Amino acid sequence: MREIHYRNIGFPKTGTNWLWHQLGRHPQIDGRFNVQYKEFRPKNIESYKKIYQDYNITYNLDTHVFTENSSYLRPENIHEHTTHLTLIFRSPYEVLNSMYNMNKNNNPNSFISKDEYTTMSAAVCQYGGIEYIFDYWKPCKLPIKYMVYDDLQNDPERFMHEICDHLGLKHFYDNNRGIVFPTKKNDPLVFDNKDTIEYINKGISVIEDRLGRDLSHWKKQ
């Protein structure tokens, strides 16, 4: 079997756990799956490569890798330990809501206000600076398949087949997983700061331009 070292470099809250489940059951995957948030587990390239030594097909699902904290994440290095890349985009407003509820549930006694969280998270996740993310990956020698979370919600089987095509694997879809994607709206963020909305919408426009896709339904006025 040929080696496939697949990494998803998309945003958080873009279906990585679902994708992890799907790939873990693919009959052609002969390896251990690995879900790691690498910014919390820095490694150099050589130590990272050791993950793959005993397996023919392996994959990693990462987010937040458009950072410069570790040498093995740099675009000019990533092709040394990766063969296939995807980057999944999702509406930043949905991502922020999902992250807000997750973090509030995990840290109920030490949580900032909604307004502070929205402004901080939008900046940290670089939703207005999407151009930077595209530019950051230019030095990478691997082609990146850009995908949209909406497609995963609307037709998960087709979405999974697209991943398989990208990896050169036969089509596979485990419909027993079900769809558990919706962002919980029990305590949604209120986006009423015009500067924040403008900042996030600017990032969405960049994604539209780069992907040649209408994502106006993501934007808030």
User: Which pLDDT score is estimated for 17?
Assistant: 79
Cβ-Cβ contacts under 8 Å for 159 (sequence gap 6 or more): 147, 151, 152
* 127 within 8 A of 199, measured Cβ to Cβ: yes
Tokens, residue 127: 């939703």
Tokens, residue 147: 């995908």
Decide yes or no: CATH 3.40.50.150 for domain 4-218.
no
Tokens, residue 61: 């699902």
Amino acid, res. 196: T
User: Which pLDDT score is estimated for 186?
Assistant: 62
Q: What is the pLDDT along the chain (221 residues), one digit of tens a residue?
A: 567 778 888 777 888 878 888 888 888 886 655 545 444 445 555 665 565 555 556 666 665 555 555 666 678 878 777 888 999 999 988 888 887 777 777 777 766 677 777 666 666 555 557 888 888 888 888 999 999 999 998 999 999 999 999 999 999 999 887 665 554 556 677 777 788 788 888 889 999 999 999 999 999 88
* 139 within 8 A of 75, measured Cβ to Cβ: yes
User: Which pLDDT score is estimated for 116?
Assistant: 73
- Alpha-carbon span 53 to 36, nearest angstrom: 18
